[in-house]
Amino acid sequence: MIPVEGVEDQTIAVLGLGRSGRATAAALAAGGAHVIAWDDGNDTREAAAADGLTIVDLTRDEAWHGVTALIASPGIPHLYPRPHPVIAHAYALGVPVDNDIGLFFRSYATPDWDGFDRAPRVIAVTGSNGKSTTTALIHHILQECGRPTQMGGNIGTGVLSLEPAVDGEVVVLELSSYQTDLARALTPDVAVFTNLSPDHLDRHGGPGGYFAAKRRLFAEGGPDRAVIGVDEPEGLFLAGQMQMGPTDDRVIRISSGQKLDGAAWSVFARKGFLAEYRKGRQAGSVDLRQIAGLPGAHNHQNACAAYAACRAVGLAPRQIEAAFHSFAGLPHRSQLVAQIGGVRYVNDSKATNVDAAAKALQAFDGIRWIAGGLGKDGGIGALLPHLDRVAKAYLIGHSARDFALEIGQTPHEIVETMDRAVALAASEAQPGETVLLAPAAASFDQYPNFEKRGEHFTALVHALKTE
């Protein structure tokens, strides 16, 4: 646990008592704060009270006497589409609102660091797609190279549940737009921006607000190095804002699919090969084609981002390349579940939006595509250029009929459920084809989250092997 600094003898309110909220309350208490807490769910409040937390109804005016800050969990709206009533109350009273990310960045460094030979560092990764894989890959590379490292944030361990730093450690954080938008402190040593595509627009008041939430990690964080994907206009804009000029190598530009000329420092992938250029000269290269844990152009972008971040903390190209080969990938992200009768079964349940699904579709040929769920604004028309790879689509969930109307002449069948989709796709797939779960939709119509959806697909595939 990382005790929160600067809160001794203060009364701090915590809103939301899920994983991050409970960890935040414990870290505040460890820092000497008097913690009061609230959650909209009665069962959650009762469980927290049973564990010793002081539950106070923050919807009541009298609850705010002496409160110096409100710490909100990331899933709770603080601005759009409208602030949660408790957060609105804090605004009206002039009580500062923060989250666990802000507390982490103000508390991670301690006087103990004065005795370290090498100061700990923080790499923070954000973006629309690929940030989980990029975060896990950076963490894996550091482990393989013998560097002390921890991983947390939006993946794995909550930030305040991480252990205090040790000499030379590198903490790797995945940060969502919900987390970067509200944090009052953002000071990573290396910040990574993978890419941007429309997502969470209701929460951020549109695409501009969504990008602004990501941009805060760079504009307010002031990282020593910024690794920025420049395959979209927003990335180009951000890189331009962060650089003082074309010779400024504090920005490492990355791309999947285009050669980057003229940048002081760049890492890009083309035709399966990663190349690093610095000050006009090639500094490293990696053949990505045979790396099983990083299939497809979207994973090659993740590889470029991770490679660049690791180079920024001093690792050598050959160290990074060796670690690539032992990376197994993450569950639910282009995860090879099984090969049965010459047919591959791939779980990309994390492909919850059109851009992520497009990247998954581009990674394979001869696809039996399982798609659908709770569709997002804008539909899936943008996937039409990639559907020539699809032998047949098997449509499930709430948006199955809407998807059927949008995919044109692509062979398809509305099957409603995952059970029927896997069974039918398996019966029709031919050797050399891939049964791909890439839903292009949220999971909440049939599953509590994308992980449960992917786990159901995986279990159904494993059951095929026993039939």
**How many angstroms separate the CA atoms of 467 and 108, rounded?**
52
Length, in residues, of the chain: 467
| Residue 5: partners with Cβ closer than 8 Å, 6 or more residues away | 31, 106, 107, 110
Residue type, 9: D
- Residue 180's closest CA among 291, 100, 121? 100
Q: What is the DSSP secondary-structure string of 258-306?
A: S---S-SEEEEEETTEEEEEETTEEEEEEE-TT-TTS-HHHHHHHHHHH
Residue 131 marked in a binding site: yes
Half-sphere exposure of 181 (CA within 13 A, CB side): 24
Residue 229 marked in a binding site: no
Which ranges in 78-164 belong to alpha helices (H)? 85-93, 100-107, 131-144
- 250 phi, psi to nearest 5 deg: -70, -20
* Strands laid side by side in the 273-278 sheet: 149-153, 170-174, 121-126, 190-193, 225-229, 251-256, 265-270, 273-278, 281-287
Residue type, 390: V
Task: Give the CA-trace dihedral at 300, 301, 304, 307, to 10 degrees.
Answer: -80
Q: Check residue 301 and give left, alpha or beta (phi > 0: left; psi -120 to 50: alpha).
A: alpha
Q: Beta-carbon neighbour count of residue 208 at 10 Å?
A: 11
Tokens describing residue 438: 């890439």
Residue 107 marked in a binding site: no
Tell me if residue 66 falls in helix, strand or coil: coil
Residue 410 marked in a binding site: no
Residue 132 marked in a binding site: yes
**How many angstroms separate the CA atoms of 369 and 379, rounded?**
17
Tokens describing residue 449: 């989250």
Residue 130 marked in a binding site: yes
**How many angstroms separate the CA atoms of 302 and 359, rounded?**
12
Residue 110 marked in a binding site: no
User: Beta 121-126 vs 170-174: how paired, if at all?
Assistant: parallel
* Annotated binding residues for ATP: 127-133
Instruction: List binding-site positions.
Output: 127-133
